Structure 1
Amino acid sequence: MPEPRSPMASFVQSVQNAIDGPITWFRETIVEPNQQKSNWYHQRFRRVPTIDECYTDDAVCRFEADQQFRRDRMVDNEILNILRQRFEDCTLYEAPDHMVKCKPLMDQYQQAAENWFIKYGDLGGYANAKTALMKQKHRLIWERRHGPVGSGMKDDEQIPAH
């Protein structure tokens, strides 16, 4: 540090050293040597209980489940974006034979998009873990009554009587 030019600058620097000195010492001698260095470039969160494992009055568990749901949705969105970008790059590179050479990438993208829509489609921007769970529940009930979605409804004779 440069030498202070005036008594006031000297006073300000001594106060700053008194406040910042212990903090800097603690960080450099205790925190940084004990940090685990990793090759990951993003924060890794531990998995938390899902919304179906939370009690109805456990607000903390429900909040964590919602945060986990939002992180999972962001990851799935990025996976879908990467698959789409790979297909588009293949299409540009392999044209005019792209329909043959890029078909595996297109099939993979379409399967991922279908799975994304099954899980997150029609939920809206403000969806949470509870709405996704209800969507999954309603889909399972529908499939039990009418067969897989998109395959047409079962006939009355195929539906078991209760």
Structure 2
Amino acid sequence: MGESRPNNAFADFLQTVHNVVDIPTTWFRDNVVARNRSDYNWYHRQFRRVPTIDECYTDDIVCFAEANEQYKRDKLVDSDILAILRQRQEDCIIFEKNDHRIKCRDIMQEYDKAAENWFIKHGDLGVYGDVRTAYMKQKHRLVWERRHGKVGSGMKTDMD
């Protein structure tokens, strides 16, 4: 059997108006738009990696700006990862109640290590911290560790 026909003139008119509007737009979408659209395997925007601040010349303002934007994106990603790990830790503690020190040990250690790494990279920079201050913080930490040993292990003495 074919398409069922409308029962009255008004329904027939509405069907005709629908066909006049729908058929050209559907054809255009299927034959023009869909064929020229590229398929993406992701739903969010992916930025290309740019040179880091240590790869920029001292007078290259554009390179500095790109490195700063990359640093801001990386900080947001690191902060979101830390928030997810914190939420997993809190959920495990709430679920396990009194046994959480034993059953959630791996999650808690993973969160503590991630929080330590986040603080090493982004901590104490303040609201206006940028890629240059983060780079200087990293450089100062490396100099400190070369002179005095790992941070938190106590200072080396002349006898060491």
User: Normalising TM by the smaller chain, what interval?
Assistant: 0.7 to 0.9
Stretch of structure 1 that moved more, 40-49 or 133-142 = 40-49
- Find the aligned partners of 1:117 and 1:52 in 2 and give their Cα distance: 20
Structure 2 unaligned blocks of 5 or more: 1-28
- Which amino acid counterpart does residue 54 of structure 1 have in structure 2? C
In terms of Rg, which structure is larger? Answer: 2
Structure 1 unaligned blocks of 5 or more: 1-26
Runs of 4+ in 1 over 4 A off after TM superposition: 27-32
- Find the aligned partners of 1:32 and 1:133 in 2 and give their Cα distance: 46
- Find the aligned partners of 1:30 and 1:130 in 2 and give their Cα distance: 48
Residues 4-153 of structure 1 correspond to what in structure 2 (within 5 A)? 33-153=35-155
Deviation at 1:32, TM superposition (A): 6.0
- Find the aligned partners of 2:127 and 2:32 in 1 and give their Cα distance: 43
| Amino-acid identity (%) | 62
**What TM-score, normalized by structure 2, do the two folds share?**
0.77
**What TM-score, normalized by structure 1, do the two folds share?**
0.76
**Offset from partner CA, 1:78-120 (integer Å, 9 cap, x none):** 0000000001111111112111111100000000000000001
- Which amino acid counterpart does residue 76 of structure 1 have in structure 2? D
Deviation at 1:40, TM superposition (A): 1.8
Q: 1:28 to 1:73 in 2, by over 3 A?
A: farther
